[in-house]
Amino acid sequence: MTRLPARIPRAQCVDLKVPGGVLPVAPALAPIFLDLAVRFHETVEPLQWPGCWGWADRTIKGSTTISKHAGGLAIDLCAPRHPQGVPAMRTFTRPQITAIGSILARYDGLIEWGGTWDLPDTDGMHFQLRDGATLAEILAVTARLTAPAPTPPPPPAAPAPAGWTGPDLRGAGPGLRGERNANGPRVAALQRFFRDIYPAYRHELGGQLITVDGWWGDETGRWLDKFGARSGVPQADGENIGPALAAALHRAGFERRLSAARSRVLGHVTRHARR
């Protein structure tokens, strides 16, 4: 099993650009140490310069063993605040120690913190690759860290039109018309429009999002009624779509390409949200 060399020349290191400076580290560990240093800076305390180090060709302080720093396998963060030999409990707050634990949990135990070592070795500034870690383990963690965020599941498909008897909505834009009991794909589109653009209505309509089934019954009537009341069409009662409600739906972007209507839709949604 491949392991990283214990000692490499400075020239083989990758210079990690982190907030405030540069940390030279072994190339294979660059993604992990970058993640660690940036999260430390953001969730524990700002990186302190001078006071952060990576590669250094030296032995462990007080011994003849080669330090992990000589292989670019260790970094020190905010050294002046967290000197070697001083218990981490004295130089970090409890929330800071919790935050460090949360960061290290991202690396499946590959990175150990000197702050967990017993006296006199304890070393709050120091983070290093665990003894015996293999390149395969490092690559597995790196792959997970750099994977794109999971994509949300696709929205449920529209129900099959089977059973629709029509008539569906008629006309288009400000000429859109329709009445209760209409059914078909355009009623389904109207329901989807309410579900996707005005999901907050559910809080005043029993808690459930509108069903997208293509049938204009009581439920669709209530959402149309709510849309009318919030769009300056108080006469809307959910029984039909007349000129005023059609104009409001058109303004809100119903059956218009999102690219064209987007800003208007968003403005409309924002106005609704403010009420």
Query: Given the rule CB under 5 A, which residues bind Zn ion?
Result: 76, 126
Q: Which is nearer to Zn ion, 84 or 220 (CB)?
A: 84
- Is 35 or 76 the residue whose CB approaches Zn ion more closely? 76
Q: Name the residue nearer to Zn ion (CB basis): 82 or 226.
A: 82
Closest CB to Zn ion among residues 124, 238: 124
CA distance 90 to 72: 28
Nearer to Zn ion by C-beta: 86 or 261? 86
DSSP per residue over the chain, as a string?
-----S---GGGSEEEEETTEEEEE-GGGHHHHHHHHHHHHHHT----SSS-B-----BPTTSSSBPGGGGT-EEE-SGGGS-BTS-HHHHS-HHHHHHHHHHHGGGTT-EEEGGGSPTTT-BTTEEEEPTT--HHHHHHHHHHHHSPPPPPPPPPPPPP-TT------BS-GGG-BEETT-BSHHHHHHHHHHHHH-GGGGGGTTSPPPP-SSB-SHHHHHHHHHHHHHTT-TT--SSEE-HHHHHHHHHHTTTS-HHHHHHHHHHHHHHHHH-
Tokens of 142: 């790196």
Structure token pair of residue 6: 């214990």
Least distance from Zn ion to the Cβ atom of residue 126, Å: 4
Pick between residue 58 and residue 170 the one whose CB is nearest to Zn ion.
Answer: 58
Closer residue to Zn ion in complex, CB, 76/137: 76
Least gap, CB of 124 to Zn ion (angstroms): 10
Q: Report which residue's Cβ sits closest to Zn ion.
A: 126
Measured from the CB of residue 123, what is the shortest distance to Zn ion in angstroms?
A: 6
Q: How far is the CB of 263 from Zn ion (least distance, A)?
A: 53
CB of 33 to Zn ion, least distance (A): 12
Q: How far is the CB of 92 from Zn ion (least distance, A)?
A: 16
Q: How many CB atoms lie within 10 A of CB 81?
A: 14
Between the alpha carbon of residue 204 and those of residues 32, 101, 219, the distances in Å are 47, 43, 12
CB of 25 to Zn ion, least distance (A): 12
